[in-house]
Structure 1
């Protein structure tokens, strides 16, 4: 580790110096605690009695080698300051006891060998389709009914990978797998930034899971939490007896979630976060990181009225640029609801350097529109056209994430206006609008079976719903839509260029009809939408003859709709009258 880089916030490999390292002569423990008066390591190898650690490096680090320490044994650091001490888990631990216990566990990271070189040497291009399935690892499927019944990383590989392939998802995003004490936090309040949670197994088990995904052409994105950490005293909070990682002032040191905000003005803190991110990419072959709450990095406490946090912005720029230099194929996603410009602009052009930004404005406007009554929708018609007025400012991903199906917000289908069958008709049309709209796609688990119960981290999705024809047909509809998205380049090749999108008609306010085209080098798709509750007749006009070949109709009886004997091809010379069923969408290939 380069000490100058460490203090300047430029280091990305602190984990190679700090932590517990297994070697022929035992285990060497090393920690960073600049304000500590002295530090000891305690563990199973010394009957939890203190073994003093010696100052090393520049005197702000502590080190001890214990010859009889072994892989699998537990340990903690006892850190003294002003005559008192606190026992902490190792900030650089590789694995930990299962909560509520919190001792670190010695682990040898050199025993697993990856065989996915061909995969990790590829590059993800911006013209490729990215269809993300977001999951919470502990609740996608459960072996029992207890809240803490979980499948292991290895077991989950055999369960979810076939499901992802069958349903045509090519990316898997997993909510945080860093170690965390509180199940209710879903991993967003970490204590172990270098430790995959032991709830589901060992570090090597997670490596196995990632490699199996790669063998099946599925990329893995991991949620990463760079803003704040758990307040628990055994973790990073007041690690050396002082607010080493967080701000000393609670006005900016405590987050809206009751956690500790990282002090991004400190180089040692930035190097800690840089190294954690690089560690997941390098040691676990993770393909991308989704950074949580980026708006809280851009603005103090996420409030634009308090001004920009310039030190945190510099941290993000250095973080993204450094990761791209070291792992060029990695993808970096920003979960950011602010209107800050340049989130996906390269750092050398003054941007933040992310590959994609979650379009939460699109998500809010779209869902709000579908909550309106048919009578209200003409007045809100341009909620669905507004996104294309700003869309080329950033590279966006369109998310229907876990945040939209919890805390009384209702699930995606339950947000739809109307009665039971009306909701199904509209949610199919909604998803066709989403998949035709420029931008990459993200959908949270359970959305694809039209769950009405909000997500609960203690329960798996209501898979029993697939016994009911309308839910089963909706899953088949989503499967078809996902496949179309992955196999038709017009829906992804020019997501971020005006070459890929063209409004045909966005002025049917009273009829709630929208028509637009998506184009690629090889094909064009025209999409028709009727978001009113009655059938509409629409006059489609062309400048030159076209033949439309039906690709997907959300109202098809195969998907519990009402349309049958559908016209597979429509020949048009100048114009044609088309019947658009209520609450429906149609995709046609143009020839």
Structure 2
């Protein structure tokens, strides 16, 4: 092995001009370490940006970590890039950069563009590649449909280290390839459309959950190699599941091998701590006004979309980027050039980030975690917005959890907590998040926030999920919440999967699975998620009973659904609700089903709308409202359905036959058959209703309830076998 560093470059003059201008968005193809062949010899090309260094060398096992053996060459174009080719160095070699400073000091730094790192607590970068023979083309070809804003998007937020661990060794993480089987199978079973991975970029401290990144271009080695992670991504895609990655351009840690003070100067961060230090997270803030830093960050965003086929990025802590005085007292921040608190460089950066991301990958989603009232976060940049595709609806989350944490007797005074979100629900493209932030730091689990006895706590959470999935906006739910984990989330331990063997938790898991199915099956719940046309309050005034009635609308009026939420533990029978259309209506979902560990106050039979005005509508039905429950109704038969059948029968040529699956059938007979089928369903519904009016015994948890003088089963006081008294 020769110890010399040969002159070699992957940069053209055009690359350098783009880099200096902050317009080079594929820097991962240039900077970092790359195995190449040069003059017939295979080795590794190294390139690092360190403009204030007086010398840079590559150190590693291959040279005994000797800083004098392999010294890189500074470029002649004042770009600040040091580069060179070292023969016989290949994939898998651990290395660092030895950087000498003007003060005769030195640092041993990791490679900001490294594709792979040693597993923490070791801190060296590793020569690697991102070659992978992808087999997810079917997903990529139709991603524009699966990832569209008028399609159902239900996201399962996952922390890979704690989702599940090896049952035989709780200290061992599951690998990317193990997760490719277990996680994929579970997400399919639960019906989520997407997963969101909390940051998988390399980070030194597990307790940061990945939000303190040192290796921006590398998936963490805790679970395997980059190719192993690609296998996980591919497996999700081939199962029809999209992937969003948490991405952290807001701050980075001060670890000695990371970006802070990289070449002895404040290279990536602001030099003024009033702009460059984050007091909340004891970390450092990127200098968004520096061109080379913008190129670094935007290149990193494109890297995950390009090399790892990510379907979008959830951008963390956007509010902290937008405001110069974020978490700072008076005198601790520097105003912008106009004297304001807005971080103009960060605003410009985010607009360019989204323009470049959508410009290169028009079928992805950029999602902002933004908690303030900054206008137009999810509006196009040409309209003055920041250009994100969606924004987390933090106001909905705070108001909803505050409401559901109150004892039901007091909810009558807080009706506005649940209605206020619809005042601004269509000002942005909102995602409703119940994320990891709500189940840590002493906040407790979701089910532990709920008031009442055991049955009521679970019923409250079921109702909350029912409200969430029928409220306008896409959905995000953190791992463990779907089966009502009782303990607060702990990143050092697996979720408490054993709980799912018990009825309350299994019922919750089944409820979320069925809610995902409902959401995907009903166009009214997603087609107009971000338009006021898709939502109508039927009644929000019954605060005394804590009842909420609303209608969700898709493109087709025949697909509308009506939602009734009763958020007290008292079942309300013969409750009349107005409907947008006459016809026969059927309850298609009820959070109080016995299957979900509910009390079983359901509406089992279709109901014909009566021409009795209610809630501003000409027609209505009388239903049973389940205690602490949400009921969803849909039009199943309408006079126009029958008129259409009759019209089709009239105009159908008698002599013309149609072929179905190779069998010829007379069209008139086929049409008549369809009409008879529809009529039969109506007659069946009417008979069922008549039967209900008689003394029909209904079995509820082993107790027969006589159904007299009512068109609705009065089984509201029945209990599931393990339910506590309500």
Give the structure-1-normalised TM-score: 0.97
Distance in 1 (alpha carbons) for counterparts of 2:74 and 2:167:
48
Give the aligned partner of residue 36 of structure 1.
Answer: 53
Equivalent of residue 307 in structure 2, options 274, 283, 290? 283
Equivalent of residue 108 in structure 1, options 110, 129, 137? 129
Find the residue that maps to 1:413 and give its secondary structure: helix
Runs of 4+ in 1 over 6 A off after TM superposition: none
Q: Is the 8 A contact 1:7 1:266 kept in 2?
A: no
Matched, 1:58 2:77: yes
Equivalent of residue 466 in structure 1, options 481, 486, 500? 500
Distance in 2 (alpha carbons) for counterparts of 1:565 and 1:243:
64
Structure 1 window deviating more from structure 2 (561-570 vs 426-435): it is: 561-570
Give the aligned partner of residue 25 of structure 2.
Answer: 12
Equivalences for 1:173-322 in 2 at 5 Å? 173-255=196-278, 256-302=280-326, 307-322=341-356
Distance change >3 Å, CA 398–CA 57, structure 1 → 2: farther
Give 1:11 shift: 1.8
Q: Is the 8 A contact 2:539 2:548 kept in 1?
A: yes
Q: Is the 8 A contact 2:602 2:626 kept in 1?
A: no
Give the aligned partner of residue 378 of structure 2.
Answer: 344
Distance change >3 Å, CA 572–CA 17, structure 1 → 2: same
Matched, 1:567 2:613: no
Give the aligned partner of residue 369 of structure 2.
Answer: 335
Give 1:45 shift: 1.7
Find the residue that maps to 1:78 and give its secondary structure: strand
Cα RMSD, aligned residues only: 1.5
Distance in 2 (alpha carbons) for counterparts of 1:495 and 1:57:
55
Give 1:535 shift: 2.2
Distance in 2 (alpha carbons) for counterparts of 1:144 and 1:189:
28
Matched, 1:547 2:566: no
Distance change >3 Å, CA 576–CA 329, structure 1 → 2: closer
Q: Is the 8 A contact 1:120 1:329 kept in 2?
A: no
Structure number with greater Rg is 2
Matched, 1:412 2:429: no
Distance in 1 (alpha carbons) for counterparts of 2:20 and 2:155:
37
Give the aligned partner of residue 130 of structure 1.
Answer: 153
Equivalent of residue 140 in structure 1, options 154, 163, 184? 163
Find the residue that maps to 1:545 and give its secondary structure: coil
**What does the per-residue CA deviation read over 1:521-568, in whole Å, with 9 as the maximum and x for residues that have no partner?**
340110000112222342223475232111111111121111267423
Q: Is the 8 A contact 1:357 1:394 kept in 2?
A: yes
Distance in 1 (alpha carbons) for counterparts of 2:380 and 2:518:
31
Give the aligned partner of residue 508 of structure 1.
Answer: 542
Distance in 2 (alpha carbons) for counterparts of 1:235 and 1:301:
26
Give the aligned partner of residue 120 of structure 1.
Answer: 140
Structure 1 window deviating more from structure 2 (525-534 vs 184-193): it is: 525-534
Give the aligned partner of residue 80 of structure 1.
Answer: 100
Contiguous gaps of at least 5 residues in structure 2:
1-10, 334-340, 613-619, 637-726
Structure 1 window deviating more from structure 2 (51-60 vs 365-374): it is: 51-60
**What does the per-residue CA deviation read over 1:145-171, in whole Å, with 9 as the maximum and x for residues that have no partner?**
767511111111011111111110110
Q: Is the 8 A contact 1:534 1:581 kept in 2?
A: yes
Give 1:101 shift: 0.6
Q: Is the 8 A contact 1:10 1:271 kept in 2?
A: yes
Give 1:581 shift: 2.5
Find the residue that maps to 1:3 and give its secondary structure: helix
Distance change >3 Å, CA 383–CA 145, structure 1 → 2: farther
Q: Is the 8 A contact 1:145 1:459 kept in 2?
A: no
Distance in 1 (alpha carbons) for counterparts of 2:114 and 2:156:
29
Give 1:109 shift: 2.5
Contiguous gaps of at least 5 residues in structure 1:
none
Distance change >3 Å, CA 359–CA 145, structure 1 → 2: farther
Q: Is the 8 A contact 2:148 2:363 kept in 1?
A: no
Larger RCO, structure (CA 8 Å, separation 6 or more): 1
Distance change >3 Å, CA 83–CA 160, structure 1 → 2: same
Distance in 1 (alpha carbons) for counterparts of 2:481 and 2:168:
21
**What does the per-residue CA deviation read over 1:224-277, in whole Å, with 9 as the maximum and x for residues that have no partner?**
000001110111011110110011111221112001111111111111000111
Distance in 2 (alpha carbons) for counterparts of 1:19 and 1:453:
43
Distance change >3 Å, CA 576–CA 119, structure 1 → 2: closer
Distance in 2 (alpha carbons) for counterparts of 1:187 and 1:145:
25
Distance in 2 (alpha carbons) for counterparts of 1:373 and 1:473:
23
Distance change >3 Å, CA 23–CA 165, structure 1 → 2: same
Distance in 1 (alpha carbons) for counterparts of 2:580 and 2:518:
27
Find the residue that maps to 1:274 and give its secondary structure: helix
Find the residue that maps to 1:427 and give its secondary structure: helix
**What does the per-residue CA deviation read over 1:564-588, in whole Å, with 9 as the maximum and x for residues that have no partner?**
6742311121244322122111011
Distance in 1 (alpha carbons) for counterparts of 2:171 and 2:122:
14
Give the aligned partner of residue 516 of structure 2.
Answer: 482
Give the aligned partner of residue 561 of structure 2.
Answer: 525
Q: Is the 8 A contact 2:19 2:291 kept in 1?
A: yes
Distance change >3 Å, CA 506–CA 201, structure 1 → 2: same
Give the aligned partner of residue 622 of structure 2.
Answer: 577
Find the residue that maps to 2:161 and give its secondary structure: coil
Find the residue that maps to 1:321 and give its secondary structure: helix
Give the aligned partner of residue 398 of structure 1.
Answer: 432
Matched, 1:26 2:43: yes
Q: Is the 8 A contact 1:236 1:245 kept in 2?
A: yes
* Equivalent residue pairs, number: 590
Find the residue that maps to 1:30 and give its secondary structure: strand
Find the residue that maps to 2:622 and give its secondary structure: strand
Q: Is the 8 A contact 2:21 2:291 kept in 1?
A: yes
Q: Is the 8 A contact 1:9 1:269 kept in 2?
A: yes
Give the aligned partner of residue 715 of structure 2.
Answer: none
Give the aligned partner of residue 116 of structure 2.
Answer: 95
